[in-house]
Amino acid sequence: MNQATSEQASVRQPAPGAKGRERSGRKRFNREGYLELYLILLPSLALLVLFKYIPMGGLIVAFQDYNIFQGIGHSPFVGLKHFHALFSSDEFYRVLRNTLVINIYKLAFWVPLPAFFAILLNEVRKLMFRKVLQTTLYLPHFLSWVIVGGVFVNLLQTHGGLVNDLIASLGGKRVSFLLEPAYFRHIIVASSMWKEVGWGTIVYLAAIAGINPQLYEAAAADGASKLRQIRHITIPGIGGTIVLMTMMSLGNLLGNSFEQILIMYNPAVYNVGDVLETYVFRNGIGQMQYSYTTAVGIFSGVVGFILVVTANKLCRKFFNQGMW
């Protein structure tokens, strides 16, 4: 009996050294700073939950005839009524087309330009000159769209604008750039690149800094020119960052133009400049169509999610790289 009891006790006891390994694991966790890193992460997680996940409960509004006086709890449930109205609206398809055209136009420049400028800056050997160029490039990112929009509006004014004054001085005819549908999308893309390309350049510079410098030394020893080093070392080295930036941009393909276009557009260019976010703003806030515009928001989110998942699978298949 004593032998059986001792055998049961030995089974219940942890394996020799288990407590020691657990204790050493905790010490390593604390020693390597993981605890502090997770504590630093907590405020960001709290903000994410507070402003991103908790408001998702309001998506039920898209399935109700929402009334601000009755609230979510007492507004009548109408099912997919607002989604039917959405997909049967010609205005919605016009706005959706504008959104896709403008954001794909932006994406065509947003993917290569920051990488191009980062590679050029990386080849500048004068440190002071490089810092000046880098600061000049990313400084516009810290300006609000109110300021940037005001700058472009003043530059492109028909009378008194620097661009039109220059055209007139050369004998040309003044152009109402912001009132002409043919020019508006180009202005939107140009102003967006001027403001944000520098910020993207910093991301690619950080990726370039992570490339092993011995690769460049070995390539130079083998007689590779700068162009060949860029082609065979730098570009493959930042390939993962290019994929990541592209997929993040695809997730916002139906968004991220609200402030810029709201400040710079006008009724004369609604046909080419009105996008989903400004459409939601005008109808949701201006006309109090909360349920309808919430349905538009859900549509944008679902499409963005599908684009990101699809792009990730394609990148995994063809480039063996992805976000997850």
Residue 312 has what pLDDT? 83
Residue 80 has what pLDDT? 92
Give the residue, 320 or 2, on which the prediction is more confident: 320
Per-residue pLDDT tens over the stretch 258-305: 889 998 888 889 899 999 999 999 888 888 899 999 999 999 989 888
Give the residue, 207 or 323, on which the prediction is more confident: 207
Q: Does residue 187 contact residue 178 with C-beta atoms inside 8 Å?
A: yes
pTM exceeds cut of 0.85: no
Mean pLDDT of 109-132: 90
Mean pLDDT (the chain) is 86
pLDDT at 176 over 80: yes
Residue 24 has what pLDDT? 65
Q: Report how far residue 25's alpha carbon sits from residue 34's, in angstroms, rounded to the nearest whole number.
A: 12
Residue 321 has what pLDDT? 73
Give the residue, 66 or 324, on which the prediction is more confident: 66
Q: Does residue 90 contact residue 82 with C-beta atoms inside 8 Å?
A: no
Q: What is the DSSP letter of 14?
A: P
Nearest to 184 by CA among 247, 96, 266: 266
DSSP assignments along 23-85, one per residue: HHHHHHHHHTTHHHHHHHHHHHHHHHIIIIIGGGGGGGGGGB---TTTHHHHSPB-TTHHHHH
Give the residue, 32 or 206, on which the prediction is more confident: 206
Q: Please provide the size of the chain in residues.
A: 324
At 261, the amino acid letter reads I
Per-residue pLDDT tens over the stretch 2-55: 444 444 444 444 454 555 566 665 666 666 667 788 888 899 999 999 998 998
Q: Which two tokens stand for residue 222?
A: 């083998």
Q: Report how far residue 300's alpha carbon sits from residue 306's, in angstroms, rounded to the nearest whole number.
A: 10
Mind listing the domains of the chain with CATH numbers?
64-318 (1.10.3720.10)
SS3 of 264-316: the string is: HCCHHHHHHHCCHHHHHHHHHHHCCCHHHHHHHHHHHHHHHHHHHHHHHHHHH
Q: Which two tokens stand for residue 195?
A: 């403001």
pLDDT at 93 over 80: yes
Residue 123 has what pLDDT? 87
At 279, the amino acid letter reads Y
Residue 8 has what pLDDT? 47
Give the residue, 114 or 26, on which the prediction is more confident: 114
At 48, the amino acid letter reads L
Per-residue pLDDT tens over the stretch 216-253: 999 999 888 889 999 999 999 998 888 888 888 888 88
Residue 98 has what pLDDT? 92
